[in-house]
Amino acid sequence: MNKNIIVNGTAILITASLLQVMFPWWIITVPCFIFGAFRDTNKFLNSFLTGFVSIALLWGTYAALIQLYTGSELSSRISIMFHLPSNDFVGIVSALIGGFVGGLSALCGDLINWSSTDLTPSKANKVEEESL
């Protein structure tokens, strides 16, 4: 596993958790998108997984803390509303939804970075082609 992936995932986790204190839930897309847009390599799966795992950990941990501190009252009401078999599935579902949003946002940033690269041949390549 690449060390940069862990560092970037931790940066996304910390930034998104601080931004969620003051802004709505969809603010998690901003740090994930910025992470994807400013990467130096275009490895799309790594971008998606970094955004997915960091936001899934954030939202899963937050859902678990809410469930512990409220005595499962809030999660039981949500599980009844969504027809889930257990209270534990609320944390899993929220982690998957948040991870999916974060992963797609990081992937979009990486695809924007990839599409903005200049694909025209360099001058050195033109000289080599002319000499052949």
Count Cβ atoms within 10 A of the Cβ of residue 45 and give its class: 0-12 exposed, 13-18 middle, 19 or more buried: exposed
Q: Quick one: average pLDDT of 42-63?
A: 90
Give the C-alpha separation, 19 to 38, whole Å.
19
pLDDT band at 78 (very low <50, low <70, confident <90, very high): confident
Which of 38, 90, 22 shows the shortest CA–CA distance to 59?
A: 90
pLDDT band at 40 (very low <50, low <70, confident <90, very high): confident
Say if residues 47 and 107 touch (Cβ distance below 8 Å). yes
Q: What integer pLDDT is reported at residue 45 of this predicted model?
A: 87
Across 79-83, 91-95, 115-119, 121-125, least confident range:
121-125
Give me 13's structure tokens: 């986790």
Can you tell me which residue has the tokens 């948040």?
98
Tell which wins on pLDDT, 97 or 76: 97
Give the C-alpha separation, 92 to 59, whole Å.
9
Q: pLDDT tens-digit profile of 3-37?
A: 788 888 899 999 999 999 999 989 999 999 999 88
